[in-house]
């Protein structure tokens, strides 16, 4: 067995989780590059197929189309939250330290709200526009964030569609990078790829 997947298997069966019963049969393996490092860092996300089926389906679709490849993390709050998924931050399109209008882009559509799960440490959730212009609380088509500490103030407002199974230490490091006045990290943090893989140890795979 490949050591990396054996490690994911151990995490999936050995680490207690408030949402273990809702993690689906596939995981998202996120490869990121921080600053001038030559090696990728890995983050593994468990997906809540049952609690947020439309959101998970959309996320998987975009990942398989390589939509996320080359996108930068565009918001960081130390020990609290990191955000990514905006196509306006695609690394090869922009030479500027902070792409213009970063945080406002998407694939051109929204996803219906599926607001059920809570914002625990490691929760993966979709961002969205404010209630004033988005009363249905529909999610962004692509932008998502990860909470690095329990954030009950966000509960009931955003669609949580997964949890971090591996790589919280990497995300903590990203959240603590120096940032500008708009919370945009100054060192580039780029998603190299997101692949959808079977979660070893699950009863079924798709």
Q: Say whether 8 sits in a helix, a strand or coil.
A: helix
Using the predicted structure, report yes or no on whether residue 6 has a pLDDT greater than 50: no
Using the predicted structure, report yes or no on whether residue 20 has a pLDDT greater than 50: no
pTM of the predicted model as reported, rounded to 2 decimal places: 0.85
Q: What is the pLDDT of residues 73-87, one digit of tens each?
A: 999 999 999 999 999
Using the predicted structure, report yes or no on whether residue 23 has a pLDDT greater than 90: yes
- Return the minimum-mean-pLDDT range out of 68-72, 102-106, 108-112, 181-185: 102-106
What is the rounded average pLDDT for all residues in the chain? Answer: 87
Mean per-residue pLDDT for 158-171?
A: 98
For residue 43, give the DSSP letter.
E
- Return the minimum-mean-pLDDT range out of 8-17, 24-33, 110-119: 8-17
Rounded CA-CA distance 129/117 in Å is 19
Write down all domains in the chain, each with its CATH number in brackets.
Answer: 22-96+108-198 (2.40.100.10)
Q: What percent of the chain has pLDDT over 70?
A: 82
Please indicate whether residue 95 or residue 87 has the higher confidence score (pLDDT).
Answer: 87
Using the predicted structure, report yes or no on whether residue 97 has a pLDDT greater than 60: no
Using the predicted structure, report yes or no on whether residue 9 has a pLDDT greater than 90: no
Q: Among residues 101, 98, 103, which one has the least CA distance to residue 85? A: 103
Rounded CA-CA distance 157/29 in Å is 26
């Amino acid at each position: 067995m490949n050591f990396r997947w054996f490690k994911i298997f151990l995490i999936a069966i050995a680490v207690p989780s408030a949402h273990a019963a809702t993690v689906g049969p596939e995981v998202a393996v996120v490869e990121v590059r921080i600053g001038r490092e030559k090696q990728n860092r890995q983050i593994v996300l468990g997906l809540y197929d049952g609690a947020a089926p439309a959101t998970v389906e959309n996320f998987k679709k975009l990942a398989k189309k390589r939509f996320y490849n080359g996108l930068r993390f565009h918001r960081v709050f130390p020990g609290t939250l990191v955000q990514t998924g905006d196509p306006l931050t695609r690394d090869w399109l922009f030479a500027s330290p902070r792409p213009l209008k970063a945080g406002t882009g998407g694939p051109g559509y929204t996803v219906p709200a599926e607001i059920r799960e809570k914002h625990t440490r490691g929760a993966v959730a979709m961002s969205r526009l404010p209630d004033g212009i988005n009363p249905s609380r529909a999610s962004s088509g692509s932008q998502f964030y990860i909470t690095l500490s329990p954030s009950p103030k966000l509960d009931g407002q955003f669609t949580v569609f997964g949890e971090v199974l591996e790589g919280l230490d990497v995300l903590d490091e990203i959240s603590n990078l120096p940032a500008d006045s708009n919370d945009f990290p100054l060192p580039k943090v780029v998603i190299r790829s997101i692949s959808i893989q079977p979660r070893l140890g699950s009863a079924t795979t798709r």
